[in-house]
Amino acid sequence: MSEDSKIKVRKPRADSLRNRELLLTAAKAAFNEAGADAPLEDVARRAGVGIGTLYRHFPTREALVAAVYAREIEQLAASADNLLSERPAGEALGAWLDLLIDYMATKRVVAPALRADPGEGSRVYASSGPTVLATLQRLTDAAHEAGAIRPDIGFEDILRMMSGLSVGYEQPDWEAGARRLLSVMMAGLRAA
């Protein structure tokens, strides 16, 4: 057995994990308010940590932006399981689509920075689509199986409707309008 295989990888300390989460939450808020170019000192201040702590976790702005986006995708995908366990399938689908609007609001702010990053940012951005689509497919299938949505409406139809809701998502008043249209959409999807 080599010396390298004897070395145990240490789990991150609890305070390190907590600081990382605080930084990601603070960065999301700062990016939503000021864009992906928000001052990193502001992010650290919001998180209640020093700038050195920020740089220990995220050595570059690009790494922070990619981590915020990756966390959004992870949370969005994980929320499907929680919603399906807590609510009827049709309600879970509607609640998840509402969360998808939140995700799109964050995406509009960080997407240009992710696409401009030839490294991690581009990779994270490219990998998000399949995760979102698979989650939407699963929720749509569950709603169909429960008889909660019209049988003549399929996954592709819901995808088209959500694509329509995303039009103009770079506009400041987009979110409120998207939520109004989502409520109309969900009323139209209900099984008779």
pLDDT reading at 10 higher than 80: no
Mean pLDDT (the chain, rounded): 90
Of residues 46 and 1, more confidently modeled: 46
Provide the CB-side half-sphere exposure for 70 (13 A, CA). 13
Q: Examine the pLDDT at 42 and tell me if it is beyond 90.
A: yes
Per-residue pLDDT band at 79 (split at 50, 70, 90): very high
| Residues 27 and 112 grouped into a single domain | no
The closest alpha carbon to 187, from 94, 100, 101, 99, belongs to 94
What's the domain range around 69?
65-192
What per-residue confidence (pLDDT) applies to 100?
A: 94
> In one letter, which amino acid is 90?
G
For residues 39 and 112, state if they share a domain.
no
In a domain, 80, yes or no: yes
Residues in the chain: 192
pLDDT of 1 reads 52
Cα–Cα distance, 109 to 174 (Å, whole number):
13
pLDDT band for 98, please (50, 70, 90 cuts). Answer: very high
Under the banding of pLDDT at 50, 70 and 90, the label for residue 15 is confident
**Radius of gyration of the chain from its Cα atoms, rounded to whole angstroms:** 19
Between CA 186 and CA 190, with CA 188 as vertex, the angle to 5 degrees is 70
174: domain CATH number is 1.10.357.10
Instruction: Report if residue 89 sits inside a domain.
Output: yes
Residue 79 lies in a domain: yes
DSSP 113-165: HHHH-TTHHHHHHHHHHHHHHHHHHHHHHHHHHTT-B-TT--HHHHHHHHHHH
Supply the pTM of this predicted model: 0.83
Whether residues 20 and 40 fall in one domain: yes
